[in-house]
Amino acid sequence: YVDEIACIGCTFCADVARGTFYMDEQAGRARVFNQGGDEPDVIQEAIDTCPVNCITYVDLEDLQILESEREGQVI
């Protein structure tokens, strides 16, 4: 899960794990579009490359809560 408020839009994660992250053009922030879209070591590399540490693993229940809270959020 990407905390889009903290994300600075550097694109590192989306460059490393292209099957998992994309850059939202309107917000200029990264977002996960496919959970587990890359091998775990590639996803971990993407997490490690984030300069502001705003990518975290969350369980499904928390993910659903976070995604519902994000709806309508304007950055």
Closest approach, Cβ 30 to ligand SF4, in A, equals: 4
Closest approach, Cβ 41 to ligand SF4, in A, equals: 16
Q: How does DSSP assign 27-59, residue by residue? A: TTEEEESSTT-S-HHHHHHHHHH-TT--B----
Q: CB nearer to ligand SF4: give 7 or 59.
A: 7
Residues that bind ligand SF4 (CB under 6 A): 2, 7-13, 30, 49-52, 54-55
* Cβ contact 69:5 at 8 Å: no
Closest approach, Cβ 1 to ligand SF4, in A, equals: 10
Q: CB nearer to ligand SF4: give 10 or 42.
A: 10
